[in-house]
Amino acid sequence: MAEEALLSRLMLLGFTKYEARAYVTLLKHGSLTSSEIIKLARIPQPRIYDIMDSLVSKGFVRKSKGKPIRYSLVDPKSAFKGFMEAEMARIATVGDEVLKFHRESSSLRSVTGESVWVSHGYAAYMAALSEVFQTTEDELLAALYSSTLNTVLRSDEFVAKLKKLSSCFVLYDLEPQHPLPVEEVLYRPTYGPTLFISDLTRAWLITGIQNGREPLIYYIEDIEITSLITMYFFEVLRRWSKPVQNKLAAEVMEQRFRSIVRAVDMIRGFEKRGLKAYVQAEGIWLRTGEQGAVEGVAVETRRDELKGITSIVVELANGNRASIGGLGARYEDFAALKIRVRAAPYSALSSG
């Protein structure tokens, strides 16, 4: 589609002329500063922050916390889906009010280098949820309130994706009374930000949604910051929560993980049932720095709370043994970026 035609289509959706220019410029060039957008999109300098804040509030763009401020696209598919769902929800509410007032529905309008990004507003919140579920490949960790959980459960698309993922949810405000389409559910009555961690590589922190304020969304793609958030999730939230539901090594007999902690939990779940676990891992051999893979029957799991070390020892096909650590491992033979655990077939067992 030609650029001028795309600008016209965006304006039909409710974008102003300058919003459309700024958005198309980001589509073409990626992350930009406000000065770069002014130059490339031919936008008047006094208008730039109002224009970009409008795009942020609609969920199409996120901005950095650093100086100078940079702007980056939210995944377009997720952004437009979140925008449409948010607008449809708003329109439905208005429609209900109009029906109650006059028994007819009319006037539904068609509203038409950084590592931490910020967006705000309900549309941005819905776009963030959509992005979480569309982009997570293997494992999703979350700490959330029942309002956000209910939003997730109302979406057939989110639920379908959730059933394909390894998942662990900590609920802040309500202990579930019925089974959820989540592998592991815990309850910890406390206050905190809504948190999603995707594949241990990215995180979303959301505030405001639980008490009716405008949602504020922090999108974090810095691996070191995400690692600290992941440590908080496991060592504080999950560790001191009440287990409510766990399907690993019971209903779920094979699963993909990014976290070594939950992979070890599944292996130990098999051990309690008298079963061995077969482990396949992709990652890096620490001695050589080369990428590779390792697989074998798990013969030992180790967890040192003091040193923060969690590892799996597997027996390889040749009879040798290799130790597997998680992301950031230093003491093991192999640092796993992806881990698959399943019940070991009898042919793979070295002993009965």
Question: What residue ranges do the domains of the chain occupy?
Answer: 3-59, 78-246, 254-348
φ/ψ of 197, rounded to 5, equals -120, 120
CATH code for 254-348? Answer: 2.30.30.690
- Environment class of 51 (CB within 10 Å of its CB; exposed 0-12, middle 13-18, buried 19+): buried
Give pLDDT, residue 1: 57
pTM, 2 dp: 0.72
| Contact (CB, 8 A) for 177 and 80 | no
> In the numeric block, which tokens belong to residue 101?
């007032």
Give the whole-angstrom CA distance, residue 229 versus residue 222.
11
Categorise residue 191: left if φ over 0, alpha if ψ from -120 to 50, beta otherwise.
beta
Nearest to 117 by CA among 35, 20, 202: 202
Q: Which CATH architecture does the domain made up of 78-246 adopt?
A: 2-Layer Sandwich (3.30)
| Contact (CB, 8 A) for 241 and 186 | yes
| Contact (CB, 8 A) for 334 and 322 | yes
pLDDT in tens, the chain (352 residues): 578 888 888 887 778 899 999 999 999 998 999 999 999 999 999 999 999 999 999 899 999 988 889 999 999 999 888 887 877 677 667 656 665 665 544 443 333 367 889 999 988 999 999 999 999 999 999 999 999 999 999 999 999 999 999 999 999 998 988 999 999 999 999 888 999 999 999 999 999 887 778 899 999 998 889 999 999 999 889 999 999 999 999 999 999 999 999 999 999 999 999 999 999 999 999 999 999 999 999 999 998 876 778 999 999 999 999 999 998 888 899 999 999 999 987 555 554 4
Give the whole-angstrom CA distance, residue 67 versus residue 74.
20
> In the numeric block, which tokens belong to residue 284?
């890096």
Give pLDDT, residue 140: 98
In sequence order, what E strands does 175-241 have? 184-187, 194-198, 202-207, 216-220
| Contact (CB, 8 A) for 282 and 295 | no
Nearest to 196 by CA among 177, 170, 157, 214: 170
186 strand-pairing partners = 170, 243
φ/ψ of 107, rounded to 5, equals 65, 20
Give pLDDT, residue 103: 57
